[in-house]
Amino acid sequence: MKSQRFIDRAYDLLTLRPVYHTLFWVIMYAIKVYSGYVENPEVDLWFLLGNEFISLLFFGVLVYFNLFYLIPNYLARNVLLYLSLVVLACAVVTPIKIFALYLKFSNVPNAQENLVMAQGSLYLASLFVTLLSTILRVITDWWRYQREKQTLQTQTIQSELRFLKSQINPHFLFNTLNNLYALTLKKSDKAPEIVLKLSEIMRYMLYECNEKRVLLTKEIQYINNYLDLERLRQAGAVEIKFTTEGHISEQLVAPLLFVPFLENSFKHGLSHHMRGGGFVRLHLKVQGDELEFNIENSKAEQLPRQEHPRSGGIGLVNVNQRLKILYPGKYTLDVQDQPHQYSVKLVLQLN
């Protein structure tokens, strides 16, 4: 953990523009001095240091004139005009550089003669360095744009996930409180048990569902509590069955991912079985890194006409949005709507 924090801080420091620009020029200066000394070991070191400092100074003038004036004002508008101005800038700055070095070599006639002979090479070097700074600027701007885009996408995804998950919690609570209210009106002995189950569910939603992933075992416990509440409410009039298969231990899954399927099964399935006899069957299977969740519920032959619109409901749109964000390319969702039965099969790649 400490080493990771150190790496993150070092990265943040090195990506500061003044820092990496300074490092670049220091490294360039060291390379030029070293290469000059290797080519001519007899040269005076201070003489060489001064020469390379003047050379880099004029390179710097061209590079920063290019970065802060030419690129922002001309590159995107007119490439040909931009290239013409780069050529012109090098044609102006290079002779001044040559003249400064010529004065410095006043006591070294051979160096002055070599300098005059190398005017063309020095001009091409100036042009190369200036255009290289353009290429590096384009690359760094693209890289920065990609990072900002990724950060924005991440923030958008997180906001959308918080919104989608916020739709689940109040909706389930609303349904459960309605059930509890109905039982208290009947003065049912089951009311205290519902309160206990509801408290366990609320503890899970409030304290553990803020994480991006939760243990699959806790999600299964949540489903069991949900089904226990429904069994109490249905009073044995319908079949409610939940089975698991495979080795379930430390697998992680997005919290409250299966709740919409449960709600749809009971609200749009069993709630229309006026005389009982309906069913909700769930099966969860884990095999390696793959999770398969199946749920099926009976449907009444004729749905009663609704006098008032139903409140709440998050539906498959919410589920699909969450799956696309949390498991992109790692899930399949198959929904079968038949005359007397509704079934859903969800397959997830957990890793």
Report pLDDT digits (tens) over 283-319.
Answer: 999 998 999 999 999 887 655 554 444 433 445 777 7
Q: What confidence category does residue 36 fall into, taking pLDDT thresholds of 50, 70 and 90?
A: confident
d(CA 259, CA 68) in angstroms, rounded, equals 56
Q: Is 286 helix (H, G, I), strand (E, B) or coil?
A: strand
Backbone torsions φ then ψ of 282, nearest 5 degrees: -120, 145
Average pLDDT, the chain: 82
- CA-to-CA separations, 337 to 21, 271, 292, in angstroms, rounded: 63, 17, 19
What are the tens digits of pLDDT across the range 338-347? Answer: 888 889 999 9
Q: What is the pTM of this model?
A: 0.54
Task: For domain 189-349, give the fold.
Answer: Heat Shock Protein 90 (3.30.565)
What are the tens digits of pLDDT across the range 220-273? Answer: 998 998 888 888 777 677 889 999 999 998 899 988 888 888 888 887 666 555
| pLDDT confidence of residue 220 | 93
Among the residue ranges 83-92, 169-178, 281-290, 333-342, the one predicted with the least confidence is: 169-178
DSSP code per residue over 3-33: HHHHHHHHHHHHTSHHHHHHHHHHHHHHHHH
Phi-psi region of 331 (alpha: psi -120 to 50; beta: other; left: phi over 0): beta
| pLDDT confidence of residue 309 | 40
Q: Give the contacts of 174 (CB within 8 A, at least 6 positions apart).
A: 311, 312
d(CA 344, CA 336) in angstroms, rounded, equals 6
d(CA 278, CA 11) in angstroms, rounded, equals 60
Q: Give the contacts of 116 (CB within 8 A, at least 6 positions apart).
A: 98, 102
Q: What is the mean pLDDT of residues 112-131?
A: 91
d(CA 43, CA 105) in angstroms, rounded, equals 13
- In the chain the first and final C-alpha atoms are separated, in Å, by 23
DSSP 340: S
* Residue, of 273 and 80, whose pLDDT is higher: 80
Could you tell me if 322 and 161 are in contact, meaning their C-beta atoms sit under 8 angstroms apart? yes
What number of other Cβ atoms are within 10 A of residue 201's Cβ?
Answer: 20
Domains in the chain: boundaries: 2-149, 189-349
